[in-house]
Structure 1
């Protein structure tokens, strides 16, 4: 009986992660942005939440989340690929229900007793009931983080967008697994920001937006000097299996066009644009 009780306690502990909704990335989890400089506010939606994704008392990446569209705008992290296994469930962020009533721990939905879980964020049913061929597309991929706890931390729905399966399992996967490995060869540290441009279609009866584009940007440091940077962008539409690789400057220009002509800056100006 005692052994069963201990197993139940252990299982309960493993179901809980730690995250934190903060007022500014410059004062919390700033380490995931080169020179502690987040992207320009052009990308910030009206109903935004800044989330420091933390597991086992350690931050692993940062996410800017759109509570109206119920998708992340971007996730920022330091590229350090490793090996491990996937978490077998999906976390939600209780602080997006009510920051005053819940602590700084993300949790599996069954541990939260609230009728308002899905008011400001996506829930598992939004994806499992989708009739379109979309995957749960990571912005910060589990394979880009080294420690097992870091990889688990990526399995939160605040880090997920509806991404068409052909792209997610095809050209975008090649970019994540092969292109990034090749481009980061020789880098001592690589800062990455991966994001999604809001689209005009949705899943789950309009609850969760399907992004029109998925993009990613990286800045490579040798020692403490940013020596090169690059980007990638892909249309997130049915049947598309093409990723465009481009320099950081061209990516920022493209995003500026997609955001109605507003200037988009992803990294501190020291990162090369050409």
Structure 2
């Protein structure tokens, strides 16, 4: 009854997603190569493991940083398809602890970004780690438009080299792939938007592990500073080494060991 009442209040002013916040990604391992997510080095102090569930189906997975109000990474299977780009971003009430004592909207804002955080941005866009263009149909594209999948991204980068990578490089790299597992993430920065509420990442990165059949595989990766329109292509192992240095918390592993690093 409490949850029903709170959702009724929320529904009057917010677009709601239907994600599942879980203790681990055991509920949605299908978005990780051999069911293995990145190792715990990337885990923030106040994490939310989200199996993104929409229209009675899982669509991708997100590790979310409740303190910085940005995703650490989103993991999905690359299956681009036609269809319009959604326009409404959903919040995820499941990420927050709701109670009678305070306004539900205030409780949600404590642990995640909301739409107003991304209004009137100066030189920044709301960038999706799992882009809707990489999803096969309208339902999956809508599922990607959650604020837990959104980060403040340099506007020139978002419409420049990063978009070219998402739209063109990924398609070319994917030639010959049967299944391509993707993990796209962030490195926290020292600045914020929305009056200090939402962290602006210092870097964005993307990695892919491709199964080609006949026990053949390939992998690729990129990283971009979030200050300008520039992007660097890397081998998967090189990206893991860079993230190990940038996070400074131990050796980063993004995929199961069978994914080629060189």
Deviation at 1:16, TM superposition (A): 5.1
The corresponding residue for 1:265 is: 253
Structure 1 position 86, deviation (Å): 2.1
- Report if aligned partners of 2:244, 2:250 keep a CA contact under 8 Å in 1: yes
Mapping 1:117-128, distance limit 5 Å: 117-128=108-119
TM-score by length of 2: 0.90
State the alpha-carbon separation in 2 of the partners of residues 231 and 99 from structure 1.
38
C-alpha contact (below 8 Å) 1:17/1:56 kept by paired residues: no
1-structure distance, mates of 2:236, 2:79: 20
1:24-35 matches, cutoff 5 A: 24-25=24-25, 27-35=26-34
Report matched runs for 1:246-265 at 5 Å. 246-260=234-248, 262-265=250-253
Match of residue 143, structure 1, among 133, 141, 144: 133
Deviations 1:1-50 (A, max 9, x none): xxxxxxxxxxx9xx65421000011x211100001001011111000000
Change in 2 beyond 3 A, CA 1:217/1:93: same
Equivalent residues, number: 248
Q: CA deviation at 1:96?
A: 1.9
Q: Distance in 1 between matches of 2:27 and 2:138?
A: 23
Inter-partner Cα distance in structure 2 for 1:179 and 1:150: 21
Pairs within 5 Å for 1:187-226: 187-223=177-213, 225=215
Judge conservation of contact 1:219–1:226 (CA < 8 Å) in 2: no
Q: How does 1:13-162 map to 2 (within 5 A)?
A: 17-25=17-25, 27-98=26-97, 114-130=105-121, 132-162=122-152
In structure 2, relative to structure 1, the CA distance for the partners of 1:45 and 1:113 (3 Å cut) is closer
Map of 2:233 onto structure 1: 245
Would the alpha carbon gap of residues 21 and 185 (structure 1) be closer, same or farther in structure 2, given more than 3 Å must change? same
Report the Cα distance in structure 2 between the residues aligned to 1:59 and 1:244, rounded to whole angstroms. Answer: 31
CA separation in 2, counterparts of 1:245 and 1:73? 20
Q: Take 1:97 and 1:119, find their aligned partners in 2: how far apart are those partners?
A: 8
Superposed CA RMSD: 1.9
- Offset at 1:262? 1.5
Unpaired stretches in structure 1, ≥5 consecutive residues: 1-11, 102-111
Unaligned runs of 5+ in 2: 1-11
Q: Could you say which residue in structure 1 is the equivalent of 2:9?
A: none
